Amino acid sequence: MIDEEFQKLVSNALESLPTFFKEKLDNVDVVVGDWPSPDLSKGRLLLGLYQGVPKTRRGTGYSFVLPDKITIFKGPIEIFSKGNSESIKEIVADTVQHEIAHHFGISDSRLKELKT
């Protein structure tokens, strides 16, 4: 998949978030990366990464800071989906939602609980 198409899937996933969440996104930048560095992935197939201070940990002194960063990794998603375009679309949407949840302070363990 060409980069522009993948970026469009990420943009569409952000646009399709419920209004409640879109209105509450604050100081976060969502970008596309090709692959995570080996020190980040540690042998795992890392699809996305949230880096920043979750909203639940921001205190009254939280100001004048660089935006949080969410990276959606194209290469691992293409491998995980086996190149199936519909699967890529679903995985991108799920990954964007997963990383946005981290922005709101929801842990991986809590996300697993919510999915069951």
pLDDT in tens, 16-43: 998 888 888 888 999 999 999 988 888 8
Short-list 67, 68, 70, 79, CA closest to 98: 70
> For 58-106, what is each residue's pLDDT tens digit?
777 777 888 899 999 999 999 999 989 999 999 999 999 999 999 888 7
- pTM for this model (two decimals): 0.88
Residue extents of the structural domains in the chain: 3-115
DSSP letter assigned to residue 29: E
For domain 3-115, give the CATH number.
3.30.2010.20
Pick the closest to residue 26 from 1, 74, 63 (CA basis): 63
